[in-house]
């Protein structure tokens, strides 16, 4: 009984600190092989749904088993951080995914995870582990769902009844036994709004996304030219795409984030299509100085804009 109480105490204090650091929610699951995800991932790769994202073929075992990523790991702590903006781009603009409005989330979240790790080590003792923010072979949505933070919707994003899906997911995988949370039930019901709205029909069936047809893939991951067959199907998205999230009924519960680092550069929201078409490298560097958009580089963004304009 004493061990159980200790696990509860540790888990509760970790969740309290996560909340203090600004995370939306925190859930904990046992670090073990993801049995249900294994055949799904294998089939997805076999169907070439990852397109040119060849890195998805690497580290198959590590993606499914956290103990192969972090020696002696016992727990996966999953965390959500809201990025839903209070204001959006002007209607007459080429569009950016909302997650890219502010500073690069990798840096913002990594620093919070570092603080959380220090807290755990200060409060509990010698705990070892690693922090992950979309930067290693970790199936973050699967872990978040397993940790009870939401369910994976038909658009393959994590969904919660309280705040929808506009948040980042991160993990701490550590060698400490904790109290584990239970998954929640699926609340998509008969709704197919995301499936019906996808401009490129990338959601081939409920819960299955062909990544090689996704607008985010074309505008961020694909280094070659965007296939001409998708000429009029990108819906003015120049970096990423939010269509499947924008139409989801659960996202009417989204609330604006309170993370100053996610606020956009003042010029970004007012830029029109004409401004984007005439963007210079200097303006690009200024507006996206600390943004995830830098990943596509000036050349990638202008390629996307020219494709939309033609």
> Which active-site residues does the annotation give?
134
Q: To the nearest 10°, the Cα dihedral for 208, 206, 296, 279?
A: 160
Residues whose CB is less than 8 angstroms from the CB of residue 54 and which lie 6 or more positions away in sequence, other chains included: none
Rg (CA), the chain: 20
Cα separation, 111 vs 105, in Å, equals: 10
Give CA–CA dist 65/59, Å, rounded.
10
In angstroms, the CA 23 to CA 80 distance is: 6
| CA 290, chain centre distance (Å) | 18
* DSSP string across 127-140: --EEEESSSSS--H
């Amino acid at each position: 009984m004493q061990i159980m109480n200790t696990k509860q105490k540790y888990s509760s204090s970790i969740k309290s600190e996560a909340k203090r650091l600004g995370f939306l929610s925190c859930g904990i699951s046992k670090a073990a092989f993801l049995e249900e995800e294994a055949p799904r991932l294998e089939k997805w790769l076999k169907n070439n749904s990852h397109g040119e994202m060849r890195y998805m073929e690497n580290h198959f075992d590590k993606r499914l088993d956290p103990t192969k990523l972090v020696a002696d790991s016992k727990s996966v702590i999953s965390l959500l951080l809201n990025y839903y903006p209070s204001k959006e781009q002007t209607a007459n603009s080429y569009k950016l995914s909302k997650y890219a409005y502010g500073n690069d989330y990798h840096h913002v979240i990594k620093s919070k995870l570092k603080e959380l790790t220090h807290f755990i080590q200060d409060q509990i003792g010698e705990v070892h582990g690693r922090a992950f923010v979309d930067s290693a072979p970790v199936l973050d949505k699967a872990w978040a769902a397993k940790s009870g933070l939401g369910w994976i919707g038909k658009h393959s994003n994590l969904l919660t009844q309280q705040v929808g899906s506009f948040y980042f997911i991160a993990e701490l995988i550590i060698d400490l036994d904790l109290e584990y949370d239970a998954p929640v039930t699926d609340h998509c019901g008969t709704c197919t709004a995301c499936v019906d709205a996808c401009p490129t029909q990338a959601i081939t069936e409920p819960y299955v996304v062909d990544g090689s047809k996704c607008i985010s893939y074309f505008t961020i991951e694909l280094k070659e030219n965007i296939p001409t067959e998708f000429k009029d199907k990108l819906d003015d998205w120049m970096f990423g795409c939010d269509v499947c999230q924008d139409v989801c009924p659960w996202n009417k519960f989204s609330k604006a984030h309170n993370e100053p680092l996610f606020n956009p550069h003042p010029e970004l929201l007012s830029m029109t299509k004409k401004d984007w078409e005439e963007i210079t490298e200097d303006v690009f560097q200024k507006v996206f100085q600390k943004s995830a958009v830098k990943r596509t580089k000036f050349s990638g963004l202008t390629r996307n804009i020219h494709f939309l304009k033609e």
